[in-house]
Structure 1
Amino acid sequence: MKFRYVYQKVVDLKTNEKTQAEWMLSAAVGILQEEQLSLEQLLEERARTHAALQTEMENRAPMIKLQELQRYMDHLEDCITRKMGDVHRAELNVDSKKSVLNSKMKDEKVWLKAKEKAKEKFQHEMLLREQNELDEIATVRFAMRAR
């Protein structure tokens, strides 16, 4: 007789939910990495622009050129500020997805543990049945030899 868990569909559902939570976490981590990369690029651009501004000031460039570079620097600062907010939101999203995944993992573990206990109980009952059958066979043989 084969073990069949009554709540196997629930176990499968919990496993699927955990897998989906893993995918969602993976996607959130990907977005976070993209945001961080974008922020790094903005910071590098700001450093390059700052160096260009310093060079232009040393070369006594026209005021219009310096003002243009300064406006671009201001724009980059605004972009960096916004991007830092995006990175922060992405980090919060990753934390949220981690929390959901932990919850799903615990849920799945509870159901897997219940299945394991049910299987152990089933195996114990099967061993008892087999032992009872063997005992009955031995009793019958003993009774037949006694006659």
Structure 2
Amino acid sequence: MRFHYTFQKVVDLKGNEKTQAEWMLSTALGELQAQERSLEDLTVQRSAMITSLQNATEQKTPMSKIREMQEYVDYLDKCITRKLQDINLAHREVQKKQDHLNTKMLDEKVWLKAKDKALNLFQQNMILREQNELDEIATVRFAMKSL
């Protein structure tokens, strides 16, 4: 006789939900990393522009060109500020997905533990049945020898 868990489909569903939550967390982490790389690129561009601006002030560069460079630095500052907000949003999303994953993992663990308990109970019942059958066989043999 084989063990058949009545709620196996629920256990499978909980496992699938956990896997899906892992994928969602992975996606959120990928988005966070992309935002951080984008911020790094903006910071590098800003540093390069600041260096160019400093070099331009030391050389005989027209004022309009210097003003244009300064406006671009200001634009990059605004982009960096927006990117920092995006990163904060991405961090919150990652935390939300992590919490969701933790919930799904706990759910799955509860159902797996229930399945293990059912399996243990099944195994104990099987051992008890086997023992009763062996006892019955031994009783029948003893009775046959007594005759």
TM-score normalised over the length of structure 1: 0.99
Aligned residue for 2:114, secondary structure, equals helix
> Aligned partners of 2:23, 2:91: CA distance in 1, in Å?
16
**Alignment-mate amino acid for residue 10 of structure 2:** V
Residue 103 of structure 1, CA deviation: 0.4
State the distance in 1 between where 2:60 and 2:132 align. 103
Structure 1: gaps (5+ residues)? none
**Match of 1:5?**
5
Partner residue, 2:26: 26
CA–CA distance in structure 2, aligned partners of residues 7 and 47 of structure 1: 60
Which structure 2 residue ranges, 5 or more long, are not aligned? none
What amino acid is aligned across from residue 142 of structure 1 in structure 2?
F
Aligned to 2:89: 89
Number of residue pairs matched by the alignment? 147
Alpha-carbon shift at residue 60 of structure 1 (Å):
3.0
**In structure 1, distance between residues paired with 2:57 and 2:123:** 84
The runs of at least 4 aligned residues of structure 1 exceeding 2 Å deviation read none
Give the corresponding residue for 1:138. 138
How far apart, in 1, do the equivalents of 2:87 and 2:58 lie? 36
Which AA in structure 1 matches 2:92? L
- Two-structure CA RMSD over aligned residues (Å): 0.4
Aligned 1:62-141 pairs, distance under 5 A: 62-141=62-141
* Corresponding residue of 1:43: 43
Letter in 1 for 2:88: H
CA distance in 1, matches of 2:115, 2:58: 75
Q: Secondary structure at the match of 2:54?
A: helix
